[in-house]
Chains A and B, each alone.
Chain A
């Protein structure tokens, strides 16, 4: 009996040891992928994550990075910063990660110092303005972020563009006096990211900025918050959350009878949200930074191929594809110029100007990153939900690259 048990124990011990011996094959590099499926931002995180995942699979199926396979792991970290950091530590120590496709603002900002130390470029789903200053040139920058990138206008820039649009809208409607601007979002790094920067610009343009209203990222009954918005007399509400929370807010405010214009960031408006909002969403304005599934753009053929079906996907999915393809091309350049290391991939991001990944013409907007400025683009497209089921582009803004806006 003792012998049998000892043998079982020894066997179990050997089995325990075996998973830790996984050596990397020479022709592959590891890319980490953090996605949120089950967490607070899972509504859009799932779609964006699918875009990244499908693009990585497509790249491997089409020869990888000039012959080098991308060994990747897609993990749902449920939007919890500590889990993201633990995964990051696992990937750097065990898998020798060279690049990371990240997601949330909380985790991406928490990882700034780690990735800078380990020299691992991150392309995040967070467009926080805090990630745009690689050198710490602007005194308002909290931490220089030399290894952080994202595809799209920063949350701060997107909000500034909305404020600029609101100024024109106010005048066009022939209204008098100072329009009132209010920020509505959860007390979370993501909704908070553009709060101060956008309020500063709104004040600069002559808005009266009201104290922000805290609206949970999780959907719920927001009538109390809507009453606050109504009583404050806000004309323009910047919605800093996303999908389900937006739907709850807009519907609750409709019940309460709030008369305000809602303007959402890049994650706050999409076809899924519109479907749920229906006619309640008419007039709702949001930001986008890439083509939509039904648009007439040559690059959409490739997107359809990556998606593997004709079922329409949201523009978040397409943005995930763009983000992955920028990384792919940077890796190709890096492989040809010094090897696939984190540092050379970062340098590759600077190699071109006004650059669109091959095959995605018309889908991704030309972007430029420089060693002094990680604002890939300052162009912001503004869309509006109309007639219950239509989404129309109503404005396009190109913001100036002001130094005092860098990293803020």
Chain B
């Protein structure tokens, strides 16, 4: 992957091609392919043969709730990856990512129910519509950066959020919009297992695209821009073009994620795309690792799993005598929210490079064991 990784001594790379491989070794590539095939297989098996659904491991892959968490990971990871391209790779900042996620969700619902296009066509189109909105609201990025850009994107968040409630013809106003289930011919992705496979496919394609983007000329321009914009400009990189383009790409990813979200819930409501979600996206990439494609995925898994783990802890607390007091019970709903904030702070202090960095350390440890030097 086009990021810094720890390599053992003597591992030389003699060509650019070798240096920018997505996977360092053929083993890691085949391990990933094997993992994804196994994931597909494990979800398909209980669907094809229902009696298998009660077997110990397969039970997890047949469980609607576990799958719904998987689907959440997929659509959030796609959007988080978009934000990571913008923040982690290009060094821009956005506090309005949730708004573009919402634009994607509403666009897809609108294209589907009002224009009458099939859902699978609507999803990429929604990405493009979202990208158009991203380019528009990313325009200030051509001129401003840092805190000023953060505030400009914050404004985008509020403007778009307000438009969601007012643009009745497009979003259904305060009542929200309905969205259909995706269909492929007569095959409907109408249960959690099928929808998981669909969103997983989108996720794989978009992650491979992002990894490839980072190996391309444009991707390197993004990184150059992040590392030192003045040097990048001296080298002939068109700052404005790449800054705005990065916004467009980030919004495209957010749009696809949003569209998948809308068609999964089959209902899109304006209140889902608040500043809180934007901050959660930032949390995902900070926890996962800024400037890492895999980090976006790891951070999303962490953020989706965190409320579930907290929920289990709260449920366990409520069964104890100490946790069953009214004062504690009233405070418990806030624990989940606080846990997210605490996780971000702790990661910033103790693991600023995120989970992706930790994963690389684990891999290196494994590879070099028992000689760590």
Q: Does any Cβ of A come within 8 Å of B49's Cβ?
A: no
Cα A17 to Cα B176 in complex, Å, equals: 36
The smallest C-beta distance from A53 to any residue of chain B, in angstroms, reads 10
Kindly identify, within residues 73 to 109 of chain A, every residue whose CB is under 8 Å from any CB belonging to chain B: 76, 78-82, 85-86, 89-90, 92-94, 106, 109
Asked if B65 is at the interface of the complex by the 8 Å CB criterion, the answer is: yes
Known contacts A82-B272, A187-B173, A76 near B60 by CB under 8 Å = no
Contact A192/B174 with A20-B59, A21-B59 known, Cβ cut-off 8 Å: yes
Interface assignment of A38: CB less than 8 Å from any CB of chain B: yes
Instruction: Decide: B65 and A20 in contact? CB cutoff 8 A.
Output: yes
In the complex the two chains form, what is the Cα distance from A92 to B334 in whole Å?
26
Whether the pair B265, A82 counts as a contact (CB closer than 8 A) is yes
| Per-residue contact bits, chain B 321-358, to A (CB 8 Å; 1 contact, 0 not) | 00000000010011001000000000000000000000
Contact partner, B63, options A20, A38, A187, A188, Cβ 8 Å: A20
Cα–Cα, bound, A92→B165 (Å)? 30
Contacts of B330 in A (CB 8 A): 37
Asked whether, in the complex, the Cβ of A19 is within 8 Å of the Cβ of B312, the reply is yes
Q: Which of B65, B312, B330 has the most CB of A within 10 A?
A: B65
| B265 proximity list for chain A (CB < 8 A) | 82, 85-86
Most buried by B among A1, A19, A20: A20
Which residues of A (183-224) have their CB < 8 Å from a CB of B? 187-189, 192
Of B68, B173, B266, B269, which contacts A93 at CB under 8 A? B68
| CB–CB A81/B269 < 8 A | yes
Q: How far does the alpha carbon of A188 sit from the alpha carbon of B164 in the complex, in Å?
A: 12
The answer for the CA separation of A2 and B173 in the assembled complex, in Å, is 57
Asked whether B68 lies within 8 Å of A38 as measured between CB atoms, the reply is no
Inter-subunit contact B176/A81 (CB<8 Å):
yes
A19 to chain B: closest residue by CB = B312
* Contact residue among A37, A93, A114 (Cβ-Cβ distance under 8 Å from B65): A93
Min CB distance A183 to B, Å, is 13
B272 with A81: CB separation less than 8 A: yes
Q: Which of A76, A82, A113 has the most CB of B within 10 A?
A: A82
B22 adjacent to chain A (CB < 8 Å) = no
Least Cβ–Cβ distance between B200 and chain A, in angstroms: 18
Given A19-B312, A106-B176, A94:B269 Cβ within 8 A:
no
User: Does any Cβ of B come within 8 Å of A61's Cβ?
Assistant: no
The answer, among A2, A81, A106, A109, for a CB contact under 8 Å with B369, is A2
Cβ proximity bits A1-40 to B, threshold 8 Å, 1 near / 0 not = 1100000000000001101110000000000000001100
Complex interface bits, A286-323 against B, C-beta within 8 A gives 1, otherwise 0: 00000000000000000000000000000000000000
A-B contact count (CB 8 A): 77
- Do residues B174 and A80 form an inter-chain contact, with CB atoms below 8 A? no
Of the candidates B165, B166, B173, B271, the one having the most CB atoms from chain A within 10 angstroms of its own CB is B271
Residues of A within 8 Å of B116, CB to CB, are none
Chain B: CB-nearest residue to A76: B333
Q: Is the CB of A189 within 8 A of B333?
A: no
Q: Is the interface of B mostly helix, strand, loop or mixed?
A: helix
- Min CB–CB distance B93 → chain A (angstroms): 26
A343 to B66, CA, bound (A): 27
On whether the beta carbons of A110 and B174 are closer than 8 Å, the reply is: no
Q: Which of A261-279 contact B (CB under 8 A)?
A: none
A110 touches B165 (CB 8 A): no
Q: Is B185 an interface residue (CB 8 A)?
A: no
B28 near A: Cβ within 8 Å? Answer: no
> Cβ of B269 and Cβ of A17 under 8 Å apart?
no
Q: Determine whether the beta carbon of A85 is less than 8 Å from that of B63.
A: no
Q: Are B272 and A80 in contact (CB under 8 A)?
A: yes
- Interface pair B59/A17, CB less than 8 Å apart: yes
Closest B residue to A111 using CB positions = B267
Q: Mark contacts of B59-97 with chain A using CB atoms, 8 A cut-off: 1 yes-contact digit, 0 otherwise.
A: 110011110100010000000000000000000000000
Contact of B6 with A by CB under 8 A: no
Q: Nearest chain-B residue to A94 (Cβ)?
A: B65
CB distance from B197 to the nearest CB of A (A): 16
For the complex formed, measure the closest distance between the CB of A300 and the CB atoms of chain B, giving whole angstroms: 23
Q: How far apart are B104's CB and chain A's nearest CB, in angstroms?
A: 14
Instruction: Answer whether residue B175 sits at the interface, using C-beta atoms and an 8 A cutoff.
Output: yes
Cβ-defined contact, A20 with B66, below 8 A? yes
The smallest C-beta distance from A223 to any residue of chain B, in angstroms, reads 21
**B33 vs chain A, min Cβ distance (A):** 21
What 1/0 mask marks residues of chain B from 167 to 189 whose CB sits below 8 Å from any chain A CB?
Answer: 00000011110100000000000
B57→A17 contact, CB < 8 A: yes
- Pairwise interchain contact B68-A189, C-beta atoms closer than 8 A: no
How far is it, in angstroms, between the C-alpha of A188 and the C-alpha of B166 when the chains are bound? 11
In the complex, A187 Cα to B166 Cα: how many Å?
9
Residue pair A86, B333 in contact (C-beta under 8 Å):
no
A82 to B264, CA, bound (A): 11
B370 to chain A: which residues have CB within 8 Å?
1
Q: Which residues of B contact A113 (CB under 8 A)?
A: 178, 266
Measured CA separation A74–B51 after assembly (Å): 32
Looking across the interface, which residue of chain A has its beta carbon closest to that of B305? A16
Beta-carbon contact of A187 and B269 below 8 Å: no
**A43-97 at interface with B (beta carbon < 8 Å):** 76, 78-82, 85-86, 89-90, 92-94
CA distance A82 to B337 in the complex (A): 16
List 17 interface pairs A-B (beta carbons < 8 Å), by A numbering. A1-B369, A20-B66, A78-B333, A79-B271, A81-B272, A82-B267, A82-B271, A85-B265, A86-B72, A90-B65, A90-B68, A94-B63, A106-B174, A113-B178, A187-B173, A188-B174, A192-B175
> When A and B form their complex, which 6 residue pairs have the shortest distance between CB atoms, in order from nearest?
A93-B64, A81-B269, A82-B272, A94-B65, A76-B333, A110-B267
Q: A90-B68, A106-B175 are in contact. List 10 more A-B contacts (CB 8 A).
A: A1-B370, A17-B59, A20-B65, A80-B272, A81-B272, A89-B64, A106-B271, A110-B267, A187-B174, A192-B174
